[in-house]
Amino acid sequence: MKIAVFDSGIGGLSVLYEAQRALPQEQFIFFADEDNVPYGTQTPAAVQQHVAAAFDFLVAQQVKAIVVACNTATSVAAPAMRARYDLPIIGMEPAAKLALDEDGTRRVLVIATPITVKGQKMQLLIDRFDKDHLVDRLALPELVTFAERQEFDSPAVRAYLQQALAPFDLTQYSALVLGCTHFNYFKPALRTLLPANMRFVDGNAGTVRELRRQLAARGALEQLTPSVAYYYSGRRVTDAAEQARIDRYLQQLSLVHDL
């Protein structure tokens, strides 16, 4: 059976990339809800509807697990999906705890979508783990739009980031938490604006570890001929130009993965 990796758009490819390396003999369905991206600037109710429709489609494909490779969708829709379907649903949240565990004295800046930044889930995470009030949050919705049009580094991207980061004294920070899967593509552009004391932290490896753990617990890990079927919303990607677009994202991920 296949594993589904779901995102509002192409950000989830960064989780798929990690999952393929950790589970090289599994088969995947990658679902980018290209008809409805971006999620992060919509209402939670609208996002819940999009996620429910995507899950209906994926469950009908008889997948054995769904990775919600989207912090925004996890924030507002994962509990409802878990109540509705009896299969492992692995969500994501900004890896602020990981960043605090790795340093714990200097500040941490979480960048994510407006829904994630303002959401109750993020607030609970901070109340639970940020006892010393070290975590700051910043919404960067335009990065999702830049990512969807494959504009990873340009004068416009750098100007946007520079302006957004200007209020923060970044010399006081140990980490930049990439709390949206669309943001991984921008590591090179971000690096030019961050001091050397800041490193990138994301939740991709932890999410894939949790996927493996849940599959192993069910005896559902398999050794299959690896494959990925790509879907934009409910449509299978078969067109060469669309596949080439996906390949360019995967190429960028291979460049930025270890930064």
Residues that bind ligand DGL (CB under 6 A): 7-9, 11, 37-40, 70-72, 113, 116, 144, 180-182
70, 90, 100, 135: the active-site residue: 70
The smaller minimum CB distance to ligand DGL, of residues 7 and 153, is found at 7
Which residue lies nearest ligand DGL, judged by its C-beta?
Answer: 40
Confirm if 95 and 167 have CB atoms less than 8 A apart: no
- The token pair at 156 is 């416009």
The smaller minimum CB distance to ligand DGL, of residues 38 and 88, is found at 38
The smaller minimum CB distance to ligand DGL, of residues 70 and 90, is found at 70
Nearest distance in Å: CB 104, ligand DGL: 25
Nearest distance in Å: CB 39, ligand DGL: 4
37, 47, 180, 198: the active-site residue: 180
Nearest distance in Å: CB 216, ligand DGL: 25
Nearest to 177 by CA among 199, 208, 153, 150: 199
Q: Residue 26 catalytic?
A: no
62 — alpha (psi -120 to 50), left (phi > 0) or beta? left
Burial 49-82 (b: 16+ CB within 10 A, else e): ebbeebbebbbeeebbbbbbbbbbbbbbbbeebe
The smaller minimum CB distance to ligand DGL, of residues 9 and 88, is found at 9
Nearest distance in Å: CB 158, ligand DGL: 20
Nearest distance in Å: CB 25, ligand DGL: 27
The smaller minimum CB distance to ligand DGL, of residues 53 and 220, is found at 53
Q: Residue 9 catalytic?
A: no
Q: How would you class 111 by CB atoms within 10 Å of its CB: exposed for 0-12, middle for 13-18, buried for 19 or more?
A: buried
Ordered DSSP codes for 51-118: HHHHHHHHHHTT-SEEEE--HHHHHHHHHHHHHH--S-EE-----HHHHHHH-SSSEEEEEE-HHHHH
Residues assigned a catalytic role: 70, 180
